[in-house]
Structure formats: C-alpha cells, structure tokens
Amino acid sequence: MGKTTTCVNLGIGLARAGKKVLLVEADAQGSMAISMGISEPDELNVTLANIMEKVINDEEVELGEGIIHHEEGIEFIPANIELAGLETSLVNIMSRETILRQYLDSVKGQYDYVITDCMPSLGMITINALVAADSVLIPVEAAYLPVKGLQQLIKTIGRVHRKLNPALDIMGILLTKIDRRTNFARDISAQIREVYGNRVHIFENCIPLSVKAAETAVEGKSIYLHDPKGIVAGGYFSLSQEALTDEE
C-alpha cells in the first residue's frame, strides 16, 4: 500500500469532492490499471507508451485517445510493459525529458487535477513525470528502507526543479502503512518529521496499515467502495480534504 494506492484513492477522493480528475500511470508494472479493474494491462491496445510514441513522432493524438472512464467518476490512462521499452528508446530522443509534458499540456485544461503514478525508480519516465508536474506528493512507508531512499528522491526533485522545471515543488510527505500498535512505526514517523519537517511539508494525516487496502487492487475499486467506513478510507478522505485546502 504505497504510491499506486495513494494515487487511486486520492484521485477518487478528489472526484467525490466534485473535481474532474485524470490519473496517468507512468509505471510499466501496470499496477494502477489492475487497481482500476483491468485484469490484463499487457493486452491493452492503447496505453501511455503509445501516446508518448505519437508525441515523439510528431503524430496527432486524438481527443480522448487512450483515456478510460472509471465508474467512480475519474478518467485514467493506463500503462503496461511497453512503457519499459519506451524508456530505453527515450535516451536518443531530442527533448526527451519533456515528452509527457507536451502531451499533458494538451489535455490538462479539461481537468482540475492530473495525478501521475510514477515508477519506484528514478529513470527517464519518472523524470518526464517530474518535468510535467507542478508538485510531488511522496508516499513513504513506515519502514527503514523506503525512508533511506527518501533523501535521494528529494535530491532528484531539487535537481529537476533547478534544471528542467522551476515550477516544481514538493507538496508533502505522506506516511503510509502506519501500524499504530508498534514502537517501530512510531519511531520511523518521528524520525521523518525530525529530519525533513523543517524543509518539507509532512501531512498531518497518516494512512494506517490495513489488509483492506491491499484487497482493493483485486477488487478493481477504491477503498471508498471496498471498505467505506474503515480507517484507510477515513485516512484518504482526510488526505483529499487536506489537498483541497492546500489549493485554496
């Protein structure tokens, strides 16, 4: 329960508040597509890879091409393994960091929010997502290894801000998989607040550990439908409200 779960449930939470939301899957694993009810992402005819290829080749992307409407009121562009192949070929492309931004600039006027689910690695597709973004929300599991990678990610975001996208900032760090029963989770949370709290906004709201959240991917629906009265739904609802407040 990390980045994909957060993207999906934040997006649907914003849609439930009346906002028009587009989710973009910039991860070749296809986890978001599966979470949105697509059982075989690799069999899709049009994904983010196809759209980016059209941009690279100066071909027109038709209005609505590759965008799927989900029953919970949001739209999304899925990804699959083809995105991994595209990442390799991007190395030799002119303006390779801006391909995704070129596409999103053409559609973002139709939405209040565009939320991109990035790969866990800092490759060229992730750099594309950072160049296209206004802000970054960083979900961090309350565990030692994810926290260790946080410093490198923040450095990369700073580098993209300086060299490629001066509008980019960090919206905040969201602590996830918080097991309130353990001292370890509390210690990790306290450590993150101590080390980063002066430099980066840390959301007051945390997402608790719950098996219900993991089940949502299998169901193809959000936590709001799967377990509407549970602690995770409450956590993501609060996050959505905090995001809306930050925009005011």
pLDDT per residue over 120-159, tens digit each?
888 999 999 999 999 999 998 876 656 667 888 899 999 9
State the pLDDT at residue 178.
77
Q: What domains are defined for the chain?
A: 3-247 (3.40.50.300)
Cβ neighbour number for residue 71 with a 10 Å cutoff: 11
Structural tokens at position 25? 């899957």
State the pLDDT at residue 102.
97
- Residues making up the chain, counted from first to last: 248
The b/e string for 19-43 (b: 16+ C-beta within 10 A; e otherwise) is: bebbbbbbbbbbbbbbbbebeebee
Structural tokens at position 135? 């802000």
The b/e string for 120-145 (b: 16+ C-beta within 10 A; e otherwise) is: eebbbbbbbbbbbbeebbbbbbbeee
State the pLDDT at residue 1.
45
State the pLDDT at residue 147.
64
Contact criterion met (CB below 8 Å) for 157 and 170 = yes
State the pLDDT at residue 19.
96
Element containing residue 227 per DSSP (H, E): none
CA distance 89 to 85: 7
State the pLDDT at residue 144.
61
Place of tokens 């565009």: 114
DSSP string, 61-88: PPTTTT-EE-TTS-EEE---THHHHHHH
CA distance 5 to 89: 29
Q: Which residues, given as ranges, of the chain have pLDDT below 50? A: 1
